[in-house]
């Protein structure tokens, strides 16, 4: 399904760069396969497309149908990996289920909250709150607000039928509340971290509620799992991981993900968290960035072409779903009649090819990933491909790809400055520095 083109790296890397890393890639793949190595306890995603809980999967599908029948809007509350994957898939596939999906708890903007409340208006709505602990500030505040709105609108019993929790299976504030109140519960697996959780209930419930065929999504991921499990340098995941690592060691510090489809914007946001949170530690890692071409060629193109030579570029190309022919203009005012009758996709293809060549000539290594038309299976395959590459790449870097110790620093500071009990000394210390 996926075609990887590394031909534009020839002028940037030695011919044997992949072979030089073959033994290390084999070791990385073995660690993923056996759930060993740094962060091995969080590699449940590796065989998730095969080993997921089929009973819970059926409950997710049933809950999605219930939400669609009861509501005109669903508020998905979560931050980071608790919402980015779902939003990425929903915006990529643009389903038409009649249910509007809104995301909350991913920030602290008063204006954004008020806009969301106004957008819901008097419509019937449901809430899916996603949090392993239930105490992360942003989603906890949002859930407090929307839970109150539901209870005011439908009463406590009515609200109970419209609140769906995705949380820890055994512990945490949200788990305790769900048990007490009788909310329907789905489990955040212990062995899958947030940024790898899109194919768990974390992502699957909102994706299914949006009207997307999650069985097809998992089929695509399973196909990727089966194909990418084959060891050796013919494996595109091995090839891509080797190329990224070699370019990083050659001095490249930023990886730009470029896509020519506007619907892939949030897919890029998920991708940035996946690689940034996995590799960005111990003073190491490519910084992930993203651009939407051709639009961003007219904003970021100059820098990419002639700025600091610190980046590589990975381009995702999807096959178009349909065809639109460029019309003829008898007056030829714009001088573009040489394109009359040609498919718009042809123009886009040449724009992409011309851009890749220009960037390579400008000193930016380019990787091209070609995919079929955007659909559930394509999305599932691409999600797993990047997850697997990320696991391999993290081990090549010799970091733990599955923890995020740096995230806790800002959380502690936030709790202290907000006056959370137990943080009094830290609060005084921080305020003295402000």
Distances (CA, A) of 115 to 59, 99, 119, 148, 326: 32, 18, 6, 17, 39
Strand order in the sheet with 366-371: 3-5, 366-371, 311-318, 254-259, 287-292
- When mean pLDDT is compared across 24-28, 345-349, 388-392, 409-413, the lowest value belongs to 409-413
Segment 21-59, tens digit of pLDDT: 999 999 999 999 999 999 999 999 999 999 999 999 999
The answer to whether 160 is a known catalytic residue is: no
Q: Which of 55, 96, 298, 323 is catalytic?
A: 298
The answer to whether 298 is a known catalytic residue is: yes
pLDDT greater than 90 at residue 428: no
Q: What is the mean pLDDT of the chain?
A: 97
Segment 134-156, tens digit of pLDDT: 999 999 999 999 999 999 999 99
Q: Which of 169, 253, 321, 411 is catalytic?
A: 411
pLDDT at 215: 98
Q: How confident is the model at residue 111 (pLDDT cuts 50, 70, 90)?
A: very high
pLDDT at 96: 86
What φ, ψ does residue 100 adopt, rounded to 5°? Answer: -85, 130
pLDDT at 340: 98
Assess whether the region 3-34+218-397 and the region 48-212 belong to the same CATH fold: yes
Match 């009359």 to its residue by tokens: 340
Dihedral over alpha carbons 42, 45, 51, 52 (to 10 degrees): 100
In whole angstroms, give the CA distance from residue 291 to residue 263: 12
Q: How confident is the model at residue 70 (pLDDT cuts 50, 70, 90)?
A: very high
The answer to whether 277 is a known catalytic residue is: yes
Q: How confident is the model at residue 229 (pLDDT cuts 50, 70, 90)?
A: very high
pLDDT greater than 90 at residue 409: no
Q: Which of 185, 277, 313, 376 is catalytic?
A: 277
In whole angstroms, give the CA distance from residue 32 to residue 241: 14
DSSP, collapsed to helix, strand or coil, labels residue 368 as strand
Indicate the domain borders of the chain: 3-34+218-397, 48-212
Q: How confident is the model at residue 220 (pLDDT cuts 50, 70, 90)?
A: very high
Domain covering 48-212, topology: Rossmann fold (3.40.50)
Question: Smallest Cα–Cα separation from 126: which of 174, 85, 82, 183?
Answer: 183
Q: How confident is the model at residue 72 (pLDDT cuts 50, 70, 90)?
A: very high
Segment 357-368, tens digit of pLDDT: 999 999 999 999
Segment 259-275, tens digit of pLDDT: 999 999 999 999 999 99
Structurally, what CATH architecture does the domain formed by 3-34+218-397 represent?
A: 3-Layer(aba) Sandwich (3.40)
What φ, ψ does residue 130 adopt, rounded to 5°? Answer: -125, 110
Question: Smallest Cα–Cα separation from 255: which of 98, 416, 397?
Answer: 397
Segment 366-407, tens digit of pLDDT: 999 999 999 999 999 999 999 999 999 999 999 999 999 988
pLDDT greater than 80 at residue 338: yes
pLDDT greater than 80 at residue 408: no
CB 208 within 8 A of CB 64: yes
Q: How confident is the model at residue 283 (pLDDT cuts 50, 70, 90)?
A: very high
């Amino acid at each position: 399904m996926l075609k990887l083109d590394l031909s534009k790296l020839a002028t940037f890397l030695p011919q044997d760069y992949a072979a030089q890393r073959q033994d290390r890639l084999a070791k990385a793949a073995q660690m993923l396969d056996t759930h060993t190595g740094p962060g091995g306890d969080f590699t449940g995603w590796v065989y998730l497309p095969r080993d997921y809980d089929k009973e819970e999967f059926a409950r997710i599908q049933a809950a999605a149908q219930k939400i669609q029948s009861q509501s005109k809007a669903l508020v998905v509350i979560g931050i980071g990996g608790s919402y980015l994957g779902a939003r990425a898939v929903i915006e990529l596939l643009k389903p038409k289920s009649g249910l509007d999906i809104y995301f909350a708890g991913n920030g602290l903007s008063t204006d954004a909250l008020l806009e969301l409340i106004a957008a819901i208006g008097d419509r019937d709505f449901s809430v899916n709150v996603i949090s392993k602990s239930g105490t992360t500030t942003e989603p906890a505040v949002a859930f407090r607000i929307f839970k109150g709105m539901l209870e005011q609108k439908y009463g406590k019993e009515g609200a109970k039928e419209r609140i769906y929790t995705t949380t820890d299976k055994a512990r945490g504030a949200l788990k305790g509340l769900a048990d007490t109140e009788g909310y329907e519960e789905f489990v955040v697996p212990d062995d899958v971290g947030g940024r790898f959780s899109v194919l768990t209930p974390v992502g699957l419930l909102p994706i299914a509620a949006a009207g997307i065929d999650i069985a097809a999504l998992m089929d695509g991921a399973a196909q990727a799992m089966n194909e990418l499990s084959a060891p050796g340098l013919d494996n595109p995941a091995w090839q891509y991981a080797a190329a990224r690592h070699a370019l990083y060691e050659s001095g490249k510090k930023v990886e730009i993900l470029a896509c020519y489809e506007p619907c892939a914007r949030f897919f890029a946001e998920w991708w940035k968290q996946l690689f940034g949170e996995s590799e960005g530690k111990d003073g190491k890692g490519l910084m992930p960035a993203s651009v939407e071409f051709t639009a961003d060629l007219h904003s970021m193109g100059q820098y990419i072409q002639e700025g600091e030579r610190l980046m590589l570029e990975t381009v995702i190309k999807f096959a178009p779903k349909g065809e639109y022919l460029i019309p003829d203009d008898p007056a030829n005012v714009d001088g573009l009649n040489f394109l009359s009758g040609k498919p718009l996709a042809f123009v886009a293809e040449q724009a992409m090819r011309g851009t890749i060549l220009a960037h390579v000539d400008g000193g930016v290594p380019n990787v091209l990933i070609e995919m079929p038309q955007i659909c559930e299976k394509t999305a599932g395959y691409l999600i797993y491909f990047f997850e697997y590459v990320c696991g391999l790449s993290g081990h090549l870097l010799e970091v733990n790809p599955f923890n995020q110790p740096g995230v806790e620093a800002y959380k502690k500071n936030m709790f202290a400055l907000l006056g959370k009990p137990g943080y009094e000394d830290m609060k005084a210390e921080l305020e003295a520095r402000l």
